[in-house]
């Protein structure tokens, strides 16, 4: 059994940076919180919890003082940021610079009188945060959206694939007079998708490793499964030899929030199986 592993599997720059900042913060501040898990990977979140980085689902859950609040790589809604500042929490802003750039574009477009359409997942924390920067002058794109505005600005979620963006643009363009697009799709996402696609074309089966709650990992899975049978797994424990009967080649891909060690573990398992 041949195993092909993508070169760009594992943490992206923004996730690495956020984890580093959070660890540095907790070493100094002792207790730190993040709104939602710091990254979409259960194993890593558990490790971080042991170090004192606690995810909460609502900032009102925190009634302690002198704590540090870490903003995840996805960024945060500006009103929540204000709220955190008003509560005098120490803030460590680990918003990925690429997400921050997208937030600035949303703010700029809205300020210039464009109605902002965010192309992405409406429930994703990055998208919720982006919406906040338009100060009510924005909406998340949905299938067959009727656009009432003649002047629109488009900002894609950083982890969107280009096909989705193109699809949305082609639907919106006939409805408007003026359209301004900022391409905020992150190249880390694009690289992972391109590589996974190349590998998927030459193997019998794909395995995509990473959190089921991770948007970019789930997207990789959806893209790969259009080409080849694909498993989306979070841990090596989900694999069993009978899943590979008759399989001669396997491709291994992972999202931007999957630690290298988790990928290596799966690679080792597959290598053992093929001996």
Residue ranges for the binding site?
12, 40, 74, 96, 124, 158, 186, 214, 216, 257
Instruction: Find the residue with minimal CB distance to ligand F3S.
Output: 14
Q: Is 255 in the site for ligand F3S (CB under 6 A)?
A: no
Query: How far is residue 261's CA from residue 267's CA, in Å, rounded to a whole number?
Result: 10
Is 267 one of the catalytic residues?
no
Q: Which stretch binds ligand F3S (CB under 6 A): 10-18, 140-148, 203-211, 246-254?
A: 10-18
Q: How far is the CB of 140 from ligand F3S (least distance, A)?
A: 18
Q: How far is the CB of 102 from ligand F3S (least distance, A)?
A: 8
Q: How far is the CB of 73 from ligand F3S (least distance, A)?
A: 4
- Judged by CB under 6 A, the chain residues 122 through 181 that form the site for ligand F3S are 158-159
Q: Is 12 in the site for ligand F3S (CB under 6 A)?
A: yes
Q: Which residues sit in the known binding site for [4Fe-4S] cluster? A: 12, 96, 186
Catalytic residue from among 29, 107, 126, 163: 126
Q: How far is the CB of 245 from ligand F3S (least distance, A)?
A: 35
Q: Which pair of structure tokens corresponds to residue 52?
A: 């004192």
- Give me the 87-116 binding string for ligand F3S, x by CB under 6 A, dash otherwise: ---------x-xx-----------------
Q: How far is the CB of 12 from ligand F3S (least distance, A)?
A: 3
Q: 88, 65, 40, 85: which is closest to 256 by C-alpha?
A: 40
Q: 263, 233, 187, 275: which is closest to 4 by C-alpha?
A: 263
Q: Which residues sit in the known binding site for dimethylallyl diphosphate? A: 40, 74, 124, 214, 216, 257
Q: Is residue 257 a contact partner of residue 3, using CB atoms and an 8 Å limit?
A: no
By beta-carbon proximity to ligand F3S, the closer residue of 98 and 232 is 98
Q: 101, 109, 102: which is closest to 153 by C-alpha?
A: 109
- By annotation, the residues acting in catalysis are 126
Footprint of ligand F3S on this chain (CB under 6 A)? 12-15, 73, 96, 98-99, 158-159, 186, 188-189, 256
């Amino acid at each position: 059994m041949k195993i092909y592993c993508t070169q760009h599997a594992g943490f992206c720059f923004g996730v690495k940076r956020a984890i580093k900042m959070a660890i540095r913060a907790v070493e100094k501040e002792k207790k730190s919180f993040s709104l939602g898990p710091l990254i979409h990977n259960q194993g890593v979140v558990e490790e971080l919890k042991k170090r004192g980085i606690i995810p909460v689902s609502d900032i009102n859950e925190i009634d302690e003082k002198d704590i540090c609040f870490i903003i995840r790589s996805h960024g945060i809604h500006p009103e929540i940021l204000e709220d955190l500042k008003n509560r005098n929490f120490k803030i460590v802003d680990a918003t990925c610079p690429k997400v921050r750039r997208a937030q600035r574009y949303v703010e700029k477009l809205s300020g210039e009188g464009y109605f902002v359409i965010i192309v992405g997942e409406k429930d994703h924390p990055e998208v919720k945060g982006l919406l906040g920067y338009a100060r009510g002058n924005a909406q998340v794109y949905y299938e067959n959206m009727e656009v009432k505005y003649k002047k629109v600005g488009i900002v894609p979620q950083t982890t969107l694939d280009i096909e989705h963006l193109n699809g949305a643009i082609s639907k919106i363009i006939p409805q408007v007079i003026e359209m301004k697009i900022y391409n905020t799709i992150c190249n880390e996402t694009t690289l992972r998708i391109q590589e996974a696609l190349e590998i998927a074309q030459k193997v019998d089966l794909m395995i995509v490793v990473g959190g089921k709650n991770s948007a970019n990992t789930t997207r990789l899975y959806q893209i790969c499964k259009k080409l080849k049978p694909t498993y989306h797994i979070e841990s090596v424990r989900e694999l069993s030899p009978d899943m590979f009967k008759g399989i001669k080649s396997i491709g291994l891909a992972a999202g931007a929030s999957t630690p290298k060690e988790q990928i290596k573990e799966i690679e080792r398992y597959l290598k053992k199986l093929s001996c």
